[in-house]
């Protein structure tokens, strides 16, 4: 009876990109800058051969990227993982700051939506020949634009 040694499953960069949702060029870049440890190469082709550990690391990075962390913050997050209590405190701080950034983005997206909705109302009022209503809506559009910090002029009456 002979015992066969089974080789661990490996994945190409294309397969890894598909699994993670990251582009192959992003995977190469992350490896170049050290976010991903150097990936083993196939002996005969020198193509990258991602193992399960690599896949887990890449998926973690894809999640960090998806929440909008910068490269530096991703690096900080990865480095904090193995630092016990102090690392955990750093993770809380990092993610709390990111939560604030995301909330700010949501706020500005809501303003953008309000702006567009008011512009639709404005142009409907114009189309209906209701200039008084259009002027009132124009003032609301102006207020939203100011909150968005857009370059605007005070509406004229």
* Residue spans per domain, the chain: 8-66, 85-157
pLDDT in tens, 123-133: 999 999 999 99
pLDDT in tens, 27-63: 999 999 999 999 999 888 889 999 999 999 999 999 9
Size of the chain in residues: 157
Q: Collect contacts of 45-50 with beta carbons under 8 A, ≥24 apart.
A: 47/12, 47/13, 48/12, 48/13, 48/16, 49/10, 49/11, 49/12, 50/10, 50/11, 50/12, 50/13, 50/15, 50/16
For residue 31, what are the contacts with CB-CB under 8 A and spacing of at least 6? 37, 38, 39, 48
Domain at 8-66: CATH code: 1.10.1660.10
């Amino acid at each position: 009876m002979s015992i066969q040694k089974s080789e661990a499953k490996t994945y190409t960069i294309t397969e890894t990109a598909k699994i993670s949702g990251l582009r192959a060029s992003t995977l190469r870049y992350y490896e170049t800058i050290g976010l991903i440890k150097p990936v083993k190469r196939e002996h005969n082709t020198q193509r990258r051969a991602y193992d399960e550990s690599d896949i887990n690391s890449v998926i973690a990075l894809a999640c960090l990227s998806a929440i909008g962390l910068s490269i530096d913050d991703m690096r900080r997050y990865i480095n904090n993982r193995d630092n016990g209590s102090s690392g955990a405190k750093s993770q809380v701080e990092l993610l709390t700051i990111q939560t604030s950034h995301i909330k700010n983005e949501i706020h500005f997206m809501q303003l953008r939506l309000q702006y567009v909705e008011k512009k639709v109302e404005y142009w409907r009022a114009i189309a209906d020949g209701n200039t008084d209503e259009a002027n009132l809506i124009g003032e609301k559009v102006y207020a939203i634009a100011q909150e968005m910090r857009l370059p605007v002029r005070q509406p004229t009456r």
